[in-house]
Every structure is written in structure tokens, then in C-alpha cells.
Amino acid sequence: MVSDRKKLTAVLGVTGGIACYKAVELVRLLVKDDFTVRVIMTHGAREFVTPLTFQTLSGNPVATDPFDLTQESEIGHINLADSADIFVIAPATANVIGKIAAGIADDLLTTVLMATKAPVLIAPAMNIHMYENPILQENLRKLRRVGYYFIEPTEGFLACGYEGKGRLPEPENILAEIQRLLRKKDLADERLLITAGPNREPIDPVRYISNRSSGKMGYALARAGLNRGAAVTLVSGPTALEPPAGARLIPVTTAAEMRRAVLEEFPSCTAVIMAAAVSDYRPIEYSSTKMKRGKTPLELRLEPNPDILKELGAKKDGKLLIGFAAETDDLAANAKKKLREKNLDMIVANDVTQEGSGFDGDTNIATIVDRSGASRALPLMTKDELADQILDHLLALKSRR
């Protein structure tokens, strides 16, 4: 598919799980996409598929043993690490993920991985209970924190007989993720100010009003921006997410705090993307002690919060302003109204009543509307994919300026 680029090298680590057979197809797809593919197999992987299969498909010798003198003189573990434009482990077992997270390098795969400077994409595949195991989840969080990329396992029938999350994604999807990670750094000149997550507006020391935003959309934008070379400042309401490695995180709680942080960062950014679900209202009165339960109905009086994006739209200052619109009805009309009223360059409208769209999930269904009135309805996709689409639009808008 990619013809006008220099030939890139994918080093593929294959570990011992039944999904090894899908790694064979992945090698075929990578070669077809003009990658040089160099495969490293663990001992466990060789119990499932022979090195000859990978060698035949990749056209390169398969590396297996760090202490094999012939392999070391012909391939060399440092040479392998240096040759990678991307390092992929698919399938990745719980064992290899645990070893990497612990800094163990006791076989060829973990040793080469330790020495590489290339981006690393890990595709876990295992039994659902292993995947949900808190130790594995802690290891995934640790590796995300230090900058490793993951492609989530999919749900379905597992070889162990269970149904659930744990299947290796289809090789086409792993290839698409590899291509996404290797995109050129087309945002290297951008300083993105991104907001994410909900606000919490306190009622008393233990209660607050908030909304269902998880922060996933904003964090996906931050990851995509970083991956494409942008400097990213992420102003985030409270979330349970790991901050993307490399982003400057400014944690906030209330809409007023978010406004303060955004206004402070605004002068030094080139574009703002407000994916946060800013609280439109806050309680007028705050009780400094826990409010007691009573027998009569309780009335909470709320006052509106300032509209942060509208305030930025009034300044503008040559920056590109991108808003989101979470709608439950009349998607396009409401989005266009917000775009106009807030003086935005683009708005991403999501119908939050649709299955797979809006709050909390890993996917979204959005329509992108720009200042010219042009709108593009996008199908269901992951928030990571949508983030890239939004950034593509941002670049297109810039080029038209």
C-alpha cells in the first residue's frame, strides 16, 4: 500500500500463545505493505509454529537464541534492536508482559526489546481471567506510563473455551495500528492545548455534581498529537486514566480551575481542542461541613459557569479553536449553532444517545463540521482513530489559511 516511503523495518516478537497463527498472517501483510520484517521467536512460540514458516514469509532468518554464536554473528541482538523502525510483540503473553514490566531480559526477545529505541507496540492475547488479573493490569499500566503502545485484545470465543476479552486483534487491525504509529511527524510545529474529562462542582466536603465523561476522548487526542510530533498540554478533570507519556498534564477539578489553566496556557499554544465535558453549572452555595440529611426536599440552587470556549473564541489570537458538541437531538443544527456562537474553526459533534458514541466507551460516532459549513459524518470508530481524523482536519484547516 505504501510506496513512496523508505522501506521500514518491523521487528516482530512472537511469544507462545495459540494466537501465533495470526502472527504468520501479520508477517504476510507487513511484507505486502513493503516492510522489511525480522522475526524473533521465544521458546514458547516455537512450540506453536516453526521458525521456517516465519522465515519463508519474511524472507529473513528468524532469531531465536541469544547464545547461538552463528545467529549472533549473522544477526546480532544490538543490530536487530537498532534496525527496528517499529517493534511489535504479537501475540504477547502475560509472561512476556510481566518480564518486560519487571525489566527482565533473559531471552533474545526481551534483550533486543531492552536495547531498542523504536516505538513498541504490544498486542496482548490470553485467557480472559489472565487478562483481568490485577497483576497483569498493573503491568500494562506501568508499561503505558513509560511510553509503550498497546492494541487491546478483542472480545469473542477464546481458545481456552471461555468467551470474553483476550483475543488477538485481526492482523489487518494490528497493521493499521502499526501504520498509525509510524505516521510522519506532521504536527511537529504544533503546540496543542487539549482539555479532557469531567468537572466536579462541590456541594459540601463529600458531595459534588459532575457528568459521565471518562476523559478517554481527550486523552486519545493527546496521544495522537504526541505521536505525530506535537507538544501537548493536557488540562484534565478527574479521570481514572494514565496520562499519556510525554504530555504536560495539568490536573483540575472544577470548571473555574479548568478555565484558569486554559487561559494561562492559551497564549503559548497554536491550537485548542476542548473535549472536556465542562460543567455548565455549579452550586451557588458551598457548605463547608457535610450537609445533614433532612425530611423535607432539598433544593440546590445552581449558577452558570463561564463558557471557556466562548471566551477563547472572543480572543482567538490566530489560534485554531476546536470544540466538541455532545448532543442528544438535532445534532448538526445544534453543532453549527455552537460553532457560530463560540467563533470556532471546527466542531466535533457526537450524538451521545447512540450506542458506541459519546461518554465513557472506547469508541465514538462523530460528525465534523467546519467554519465553511462543510460537514463530514464519520462511522463508528475507536476514539484513537477519531483523534487522528480530527488532527487530519486540523492540518487541512491550517493549510487553507
Residues at the contact surface with ligand PMT, assessed by CB under 6 A: 197, 213-217, 255, 274-278, 280, 305, 307-309, 323-326, 338, 350, 352, 358-360
Contact between 306 and 259 (Cβ < 8 Å): yes
Residue 400, number of CB atoms within 10 A of its CB: 9
**Closer CB to ligand PMT, residue 215 or residue 225?**
215
Three-class SS state of 391: helix
**Closer CB to ligand PMT, residue 229 or residue 281?**
281
Residue 131 CB, nearest approach to ligand PMT (Å): 22
Residue 284 CB, nearest approach to ligand PMT (Å): 16
Read off the C-alpha cell for 272: 485548542
How many alpha carbons fall within 13 Å on the CB side of residue 170?
A: 4
**Closer CB to ligand PMT, residue 38 or residue 383?**
383
Per the residue annotation, which of 104, 159, 160, 333 is the catalytic one? Answer: 160
In 97-186, DSSP assigns E strands to: 120-124, 149-150, 154-157, 163-167
Residue 399 CB, nearest approach to ligand PMT (Å): 23
**Closer CB to ligand PMT, residue 156 or residue 304?**
304
Residue 220 CB, nearest approach to ligand PMT (Å): 8
Cα–Cα distance, 390 to 363 (Å, whole number): 14
Q: What is the CA radius of gyration of the chain?
A: 24
H/E segment holding residue 388: helix 383-399
Contact between 209 and 201 (Cβ < 8 Å): yes
Q: Which residues on neighbouring strands pair with residue 163, listed in sequence order?
A: 157
How far, rounded to the nearest angstrom, does the alpha carbon of residue 379 sit from its chain's CA centroid?
18
Residue 344 CB, nearest approach to ligand PMT (Å): 8
**Closer CB to ligand PMT, residue 227 or residue 350?**
350
Q: Is 160 a catalytic residue?
A: yes
How does 212-238 read in b/e, with b if 16+ C-beta sit within 10 Å?
Answer: ebbbbbbbbbbbbbbbbebbbbbbbbb
Residue 127, number of CB atoms within 10 A of its CB: 17
Residues assigned a catalytic role: 160
